[in-house]
Structure 1
């Protein structure tokens, strides 16, 4: 009987396809780098060592239609698996939450203790210059909207965090505002698809903070504000939808965005354009909460004063406060009160580089 030798399958076609894809990727990379040569020319050698060069070039190296592909994959992941990625989870239908608000990151206890030290240092520094401080930790959305969690559970350490923080403030005799009661009375006080307070929550919080601030300022001032409202609600795609990669997905392939009737809150100008504005007495050094839902303007409306708003997106625990302190020489002599606002969740996040730098200058005890 004749035995035919085994015939090895050919891999030439697969190898050719892989080679073609690699060649196309190389060509696209060279083309993208050439198009970004102006950006490359401005980079210093240190930028290639610390990773900032890679971040600068990352947008240029994206493939054609990559954004659409990523949106499609995120939509499929949500529709088929009910998953919103690593950072976002869904409670009750349509209610999204930030995972870091429910589960602590490694080293959260040490970060919390270090932030108590930083708080005492910065408050003491401000008081030494005659400026008072009012601390406001905005409760996490998962705490206030607990009825919308639908089975999601927050770790015990996260549930105890706000009380522990307030106890630390009280022990250091630092004034603070606990917003839980105010927000509980206005629930829902947060957007469904966003981590921030909605208009109702911002108004309730501003009222509570203003009541505490007037203990330092006395009677409300004379500044008036004009409030307007849009004729009809519009869609508002929250940051949690963006974080889940579903910002541009069709509505049937993502949780529905919030419907919001946008408002405007602006200080009224009583005199002419050349009239001087009263120098600020209140500085708001806040997180993105201070830049959403007209929180700063609503606060000013309750105080009867314009608020100098130095809040910043991504400021976490102390970003805005440290930025404001770096401008301390330019503060007007009229400034009497700093309202330091941040999200409760920021208490448990890893320390920023700026926070580590400040800690290194503090005495060990």
Structure 2
């Protein structure tokens, strides 16, 4: 019976692969296939990745993730569990090869971008978002955050002389507060509002940045409690389970932002309000003179409305989900928005965990800016 079951499973898997390749449009490799790629193992990795996307392996992997969680509390390779069902991204606990060199390479590129922007009369503020594992370290319990990470933000800032950098870690130290969502990689509204206020304070420091005259006046109100599914539950592959079998979701009261004297935005999602790439934002009348680049942090927990409220002016949101260090900047500096109507100020949000990641596959920023 065991042998028959195994043969049936293998036959079913083979059949689904054949159907996916013939009728499902699945390509086993990405052309061109070269001899060097074959020798390096890249071709076989592409085949393995393509096969993993076919129905049978997907269903088996999905079932395995659910059973592993229910049986032994395992969340897979990308997610770790701390105290009180708090979940953390394993990337924030990973020491990368050539970590220091990667961080220094990004610092050098960022310094070049700063100089190029300055030559065009554009100011730059770099904002580093601290790791969730740094701010909520009291909830790590059995998880170990490498000691080498303690000073990596400070060391990176030291490699950026002449660049205005704000680390938000110092503003998120109140032990009585929670600045991040429990089952998500991102900050909650307390974290987003704290970040927005810290940025506004830095921009208003004497002798610092030239800001537009505040013309936007907002009032806020709290909405009803809603369930906030966490991206770490999805990343763990258990979001398909019934809610009662998943880690308890965050419950939150989204803030509504209403413009005083205007129609009011009522926005709780900055992506819905300002868009993610916004190629048309700077072409309109009353265009924003401030552009925000960055990652999904700038598109979550109403960060942009909090920032607009703190600054009293509209902000163009050009952040990108999964943008890591360079994704949003590369796209924006090559966009019509930047070419035709450049801003006066760029706020570049960068997650701490992106600083030392491998450079392979990351788009170059400086050549894009230098071509303008």
TM over 0.5, shorter chain: yes
1:184 corresponds in structure 2 to: 173
TM-aligned CA distance change 1:21 to 1:254, over 3 Å = closer
TM-score (norm 2): 0.79
Report how far residue 30 of structure 1 moved.
3.2
- 1:128 corresponds, among 102, 111, 119, to 119
Is the alpha carbon distance of 1:58 and 1:261 closer, same or farther for their aligned partners in structure 2, counting shifts above 3 Å?
farther
Match of 1:222 in 2: 215
Q: Distance in 2 between matches of 1:55 and 1:342?
A: 32
Equivalenced residue count is: 338
Structure 1 unaligned blocks of 5 or more: 1-12
1:261 to 243, 246, 253: 253
SS at structure 2 position matched to 1:217: coil
**Structure 2 match to 1:342:** 350
Please tell me whether the aligned partners of residues 325 and 354 of structure 2 are also in contact (alpha carbons under 8 angstroms).
yes
Deviations 1:9-45, CA, capped at 9 Å, x for gaps: xxxx7766555444433333333344425x77xx984
TM, length-normalised to structure 1: 0.80
Q: Deviations over 1:238-271 (max 9, x none)?
A: 1111111121223454321111222333657848
Aligned-residue Cα RMSD (Å) equals 3.4
Tell me whether 1:139 sits opposite 2:130 in the alignment. Answer: yes
Unaligned runs of at least 5 residues, structure 2: 264-283
Instruction: Give 2:296's aligned residue.
Output: 288
- Tell me whether 130-139 or 20-29 shows the greater mean CA deviation: 20-29
Cα deviation for residue 193 of structure 1 reads 0.7
Alignment of 1:1-365 (within 5 A): 18-37=6-25, 45-46=31-32, 61-63=54-56, 66-67=58-59, 69-169=60-160, 172-185=161-174, 187-214=177-204, 215-218=208-211, 220-225=213-218, 227-231=220-224, 233-265=225-257, 270=262, 277-327=285-335, 330-331=338-339, 333=341, 335-355=343-363
In 2: Cα distance, 1:86 partner to 1:205 partner: 30
**Alpha-carbon distance in structure 2 between the residues aligned to 1:62 and 1:237:** 25
Going from structure 1 to structure 2, the CA distance change for 1:60 and 1:80 (only over 3 Å counts) comes to closer
* Closer, same or farther: CA 265–286 of 1 in aligned 2, 3 Å: farther
* CA distance in structure 1 between the partners assigned to 2:336 and 2:209 by the alignment: 20
